[in-house]
Amino acid sequence: MNNNVIILSTSRYYYNYRHTTNILIAYDYLKNVGDNINKNILLMVPFDHTCDCRNILHGTIYKNHNQIKSNSLKDNTLDENLYKNINIDYKNNNIYDIQLRRVIRHRYDGFMPYKTRLYTTVNKEKNLIIYMTGHGGEKFLKIQEFNIISSAEFKLYLQELIIKQIYKSIFVIIETCRGYSFYNDILYFLNKNKINNIFLLASSNPSENSYSLFSSGYLGVSTIDRFTNYFFTYLDNISKTNLNEQHKNVNSFLMHSVMNYLKTKYIISTPTVNKSNFNVSSLVHSKNIIFYNSNLLLIAKDQDITGDHIINTTNYDNKQYQNNNNTLNFQNTCLGDLTLCKHMKNKIYTYMATLYMHMSYYNNMDLFEKKENFFNNYYFTYKNIDIEYLTKIIIIAFLVLFIMLNFLIQP
């Protein structure tokens, strides 16, 4: 199983250096430790801090950097350069509100390259992780100083993904001032409909600001935010313990344990989450530590696949459970590495068949056929052309041309 990941910064200008550091920290962890393949990660960087003339260490981004080790910049090894081995999918002016709407909803423009798209599977076993950082306020997130995404808009984006049921779980992390207020509208929808597979984490509660951690006098900027640093540092440290027996780290990856750890750090703001009874590893790691089957009451540890080795948990014989089909429906249940699963069911088309009939905003054709709204991308086709109006324009153009020609011909 490989999760889909959207990592997004919404800030431009050099003094927002720390926001680029935030997304590179998240990118490094989710790619290398989380083992998510690069084609399933969309990295969105709105400003190139590495090539800015004010960055005296060109081509580098550092988590903490106050001075250089020697007079030669090449010999500097005080901190690890985060700007290496990365693949940027969206950058500069290609990051704006409409583009984010398309990316999150997976409704891409027809001219969008395939490498900058995310793809889902019909067996609904993928998770979606969204990490966002930038400047925000009460119920909004600012995009490059010119646009915003409101809490109501973000609710519509997630609502569409929930209705389509194309993801097993969705995990959203936001690092911004008054971060939890950005979830106000979607939280009301989740609580009203008792939806339990959407997890929302914010760096601050609705009345607090988020704060930076390191301030580099050498670079002249703050280099990283407190919440992002401590959150991913904790996950990274836990991942390095019990390397050969990762299943022993299950309790440490519980969100309740993560929140308790963050309380011990001087973050100043209060990290807030809508649910604390889920395992972070099951969302951020491509290969989960455990796979739990409630029918078989079995906990199986994931293992690596080398050569002809196949995970034992995928080799159960269904025949031994035929006598208990009423209670043990193992036919559509997969354990172990989900890439070996042969029980993929094409459920998405069944969901979509009744989707448009049950949802009012889809059933309203006047709303659905607008040039631009939250639930469809507009394409210029003959159905959208007003023939009568176009005919009038052509007739008027010919009349104007005829009058001008007569005026020129007259002596």
- Domain carrying residue 366: 348-409
Instruction: Decide which of 242, 266, 284 is a domain's last residue.
Output: 284
Element (H, E) at 143: strand 140-143
Q: CB count, 10 Å around CB of 335?
A: 23
For 310, the 3-state DSSP assignment is coil
SS3 call for 165:
coil
Span 9-35, mean pLDDT?
A: 92
| Same structural domain, 229 and 332 | no
234 shares its domain with 366: no
* pLDDT for res 288: 55
SS percent in the chain: helix, strand, coil, step 5: 40, 15, 45
Q: What gap in Å lies between CA 220 and CA 18, rounded to an integer?
A: 11
Lookup: tokens for 41 = 């990660």
Burial of residue 143 (CB within 10 Å: 0-12, 13-18, 19+) is buried
Sign of CA dihedral 256, 258, 261, 265: negative
Amino acid, single-letter form, for residue 306? T
CA dist., res. 211 & res. 267, Å (int): 7
Pair 134, 189 in one domain: yes
Last residue of a domain, one of 284, 307, 326: 284
pLDDT at 131 > cutoff 50: yes
* CATH label of the domain that carries residue 48: 3.40.50.1460
| Amino acid 220: pLDDT | 87
- The C-alpha atoms of residue 310 and residue 364 are separated, in whole angstroms, by 50
- Report whether 130 contacts 171 (CB < 8 A): yes
Q: What is the pLDDT of residue 375?
A: 42
Same domain, 64 and 93: yes
Q: What percent of the chain has pLDDT over 70?
A: 72
The Cα 136–Cα 209 span in angstroms is 9
Q: Note the pLDDT of residue 287.
A: 62
How many residues does the structure list for the chain?
411
Residues 229 and 270 in one domain: yes
Amino acid 56: pLDDT: 87
Task: Judge if 91 and 194 occupy the same domain.
Answer: yes
Structure-token match 């911004």, residue found = 176
Q: Indicate whether 168 and 314 sit together in one domain.
A: no
CA distance 392 to 236: 66
In terms of domains, do 250 and 383 share one? no
214: β partners: 224
How many CB atoms sit inside 10 A of residue 299's CB? Answer: 14
Top pLDDT among 353 and 209 is at 209
Q: Is the pLDDT of residue 225 over 90?
A: yes
C-beta of residue 276 within 8 angstroms of C-beta of residue 285? no
Mean pLDDT of the residues in the chain: 76
User: What pLDDT sits at residue 179?
Assistant: 93
Domain count, the chain: 3
The string over 378-396, giving b where at least 16 C-beta atoms fall within 10 Å of a residue's C-beta and e elsewhere, is eeeeeeeeeeeeeeeeeee
pLDDT tens-digit map of 268-279: 999 999 988 888
Tens digits of residue pLDDT in 92-129: 888 988 899 999 998 888 888 888 898 887 777 889 99
Is residue 71 located within the same domain as residue 54? yes
pTM: 0.69
Give the tokens for residue 315: 């080799």
83 and 217 share one domain: yes
Model pLDDT for residues 47-67, shown as the tens digit of each residue: 989 888 888 888 899 988 765
Per-residue pLDDT band for 259 (boundaries 50, 70, 90) equals very high
Residues 29 and 132 in one domain: yes
Q: Tell me, yes or no, whether 164 and 89 share the same domain.
A: yes
Rg of the chain (C-alpha set):
26
Give the highest mean pLDDT range of 126-135, 272-281, 289-298. 126-135
More confident residue, 314 or 41: 41
Per DSSP, 149 falls in state E
Picking from 340, 359, 376, the residue at the C-terminal end of a domain is: 340
